[in-house]
Amino acid sequence: MKEDDVLLKVEKFVRKKISGYDSGHDWWHIMRVRKLAEYINDKEQLEEPFLVDLAALLHDSADSKFTGDDPKNGYRMVEEFLQAVGMADLSTRITDAMRNISFSSKKRYGDITDPLLLIVQDADRLDAIGAIGVARAFNYGGFRNNLIYSPEGEQNKFSTINHFYEKLLLLKSMMNTSTGKEMAKERHEFLEIFLKQFFKEWNPDFIRIARKTPFSLDQEKGAY
């Protein structure tokens, strides 16, 4: 099968797989990650463009957060699909990269220095920060009906603002490629600007309570 035909089949497979996900993990997330990955690879010349497209397209298609399924099943389906489109030899590399991309997964699979992984992981992380990152975080929080923020520390653990401190603000220093690192700077700064404004707008009486929690960026910076 020609590469373009394989990509068309992959697109169709992915659209179906992600159809129940939140709209922060929709087709446009996949397209943005694909473009970002292509851009990074173009700059760094690390990998064959076709492989980058393939991995970027497939990167979220076995996410147990949404399928509620045993993740092994998701990866098995990707493997079977790749076999069916004549890409069986790439299957392990792609599923290893998919497994390793996740921020939350502690376990590592195969070659963790594979450029395919490094590129797509950077692209996925870039889409989690900046203005789009903010939009996606609150979209996911809304999808789960999580709190936006709570000035009460215990409650705040489950808020979307807390997700910024637990994950989003850490991503800048976790970037792999020089292009990714460079691009992360502006997006990271935007997260900081957003949080500063957020806490500025929060009822001042609540801010006093919030300052006792470890979650306030302003508290760290002593801005308020």
By CB under 6 A, name the binding residues for ligand ADP. Answer: 24, 65, 102-104, 128, 136-137, 140-141, 160, 163
Shortest Cβ 76–ligand ADP spacing (Å): 19
Choose the one of Ni ion, ligand ADP, none that binds residue 121, judging by a C-beta under 5 to 8 angstroms depending on kind: none
Q: How many chain residues touch Ni ion (CB under 5 A)?
A: 2
Pairwise CA distance, residues 101 & 33, whole Å = 12
Residue 60 binds to Ni ion (criterion: CB under 5 A): yes
Shortest Cβ 129–Ni ion spacing (Å): 13
Shortest Cβ 157–ligand ADP spacing (Å): 10
The residue (of 6 and 191) whose beta carbon lies closer to ligand ADP is: 191
Shortest Cβ 16–ligand ADP spacing (Å): 18
The residue (of 24 and 151) whose beta carbon lies closer to ligand ADP is: 24
Would you state the structure tokens that stand for residue 216, as one six-digit string?
């306030």
Closest CA to 38 of 103, 30, 173, 137: 30
Binds Ni ion (CB under 5 A): choice among 54, 124, 183, 187 = 124
Shortest Cβ 97–ligand ADP spacing (Å): 12
Residues 129-188 that bind Ni ion (CB under 5 A): none
Residue 53 binds to Ni ion (criterion: CB under 5 A): no
Pairwise CA distance, residues 30 & 167, whole Å = 20
The residue (of 30 and 217) whose beta carbon lies closer to Ni ion is: 30
The residue (of 47 and 124) whose beta carbon lies closer to Ni ion is: 124
Helix/strand/coil (H/E/C) assignment for every residue in the chain:
CCHHHHHHHHHHHHHHHCCCCCHHHCHHHHHHHHHHHHHHHHHHCCCCHHHHHHHHHHCCCCCHHHHCCCHHHHHHHHHHHHHHCCCHHHHHHHHHHHHHHCCCCCCCCCCCCCHHHHHHHHHHHHCCCHHHHHHHHHHHHHHCCCCCCCCCHHHHCCCHHHHHHHCHHHHHHHCCCHHHHHHHHHHHHHHHHHHHHHHHHCCHHHHHHHCCCCCCHHHHHCCC
Choose the one of Ni ion, ligand ADP, none that binds residue 141, judging by a C-beta under 5 to 8 angstroms depending on kind: ligand ADP
Residue 122 binds to Ni ion (criterion: CB under 5 A): no
User: In the complex, which residues of this chain contact Ni ion (CB under 5 A)?
Assistant: 60, 124
